[in-house]
Amino acid sequence: MRQLISHRNASAFEVFLKLLAGRVGQLINLSDLSGATGVSSTTLSKWLSILEASFVVFRLRPYYKNFGKRLVKSSRVYFTEPGFAAYLLGIREHGQVASHPLLGGLFENLVVAEAMKARMNKGEDSNLYFFRDNNGLKVDLLVDNGQNLVPIQIKAARTFTADFFKAFSLLRRLGVPFRSGFVVYASELETSFRDDRIIKYSSLEQIL
pTM score, two decimals?
0.88
Indicate if the pLDDT at residue 208 is higher than 90: no
User: For the chain, what is the mean pLDDT?
Assistant: 88
Q: Has residue 71 got a pLDDT over 80?
A: no
How far from the centroid of its chain's Cα atoms is residue 21's Cα?
12
Q: For 29-33, 142-146, 164-168, which range has the lowest pLDDT when averaged over its residues?
A: 142-146
For residues 20 and 32, give the distance between their C-alpha atoms in angstroms, rounded to a whole number: 12
Domains and CATH numbers, the chain: 2-207 (1.10.10.10)
Residues 6 or more apart whose CB falls under 8 angstroms from that of 33 comprise: 16, 19, 20, 41, 44
Is 55's pLDDT higher than 60? yes
Query: Rounded to whole angstroms, how far apart are CA atoms 103 and 108?
Result: 8
Of the candidates 34, 26, 14, 38, the residue with the CA atom closest to the CA atom of residue 87? 14
Is residue 119 over pLDDT 60?
Answer: yes
